[in-house]
């Protein structure tokens, strides 16, 4: 990284500039933003659960009253 003070290149692990002693900013670790997709105010997993419940509910509807005859 370049020293913001004297514009001299420094290794990334340097804390202060080797030339002017200026304190170098810490390199920002590249962090992946947490993927938190939300649809209609609900996270995707909530929709999956709702979908499963709907399927179960439909299955019960199709089964109808259980005839023991």
Q: Please return the burial class of 22, using the count of CB atoms within 10 Å of its CB with bins 0-12, 13-18 and 19+.
A: middle
Q: How far is the CB of 48 from Zn ion (least distance, A)?
A: 53
| Footprint of Zn ion (CB under 5 A) | 3, 5-6, 8, 17, 19-20, 22
Q: How far is the CB of 17 from Zn ion (least distance, A)?
A: 3
State which residue, 1 or 5, has the beta carbon closest to Zn ion: 5
Strand partners, 16: 23
Distance between CA atoms of residues 57 and 62, nearest Å? 9
State which residue, 2 or 43, has the beta carbon closest to Zn ion: 2
């Amino acid at each position: 990284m370049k020293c913001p003070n004297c514009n001299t290149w420094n290794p990334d692990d340097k804390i202060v500039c080797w030339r002017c002693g200026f304190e170098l900013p810490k390199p920002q670790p590249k962090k992946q933003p947490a993927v938190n997709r939300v649809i209609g105010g609900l996270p995707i997993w909530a929709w999956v659960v709702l979908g499963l419940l709907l399927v179960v509910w439909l299955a019960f509807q199709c089964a109808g009253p259980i005839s023991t005859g």
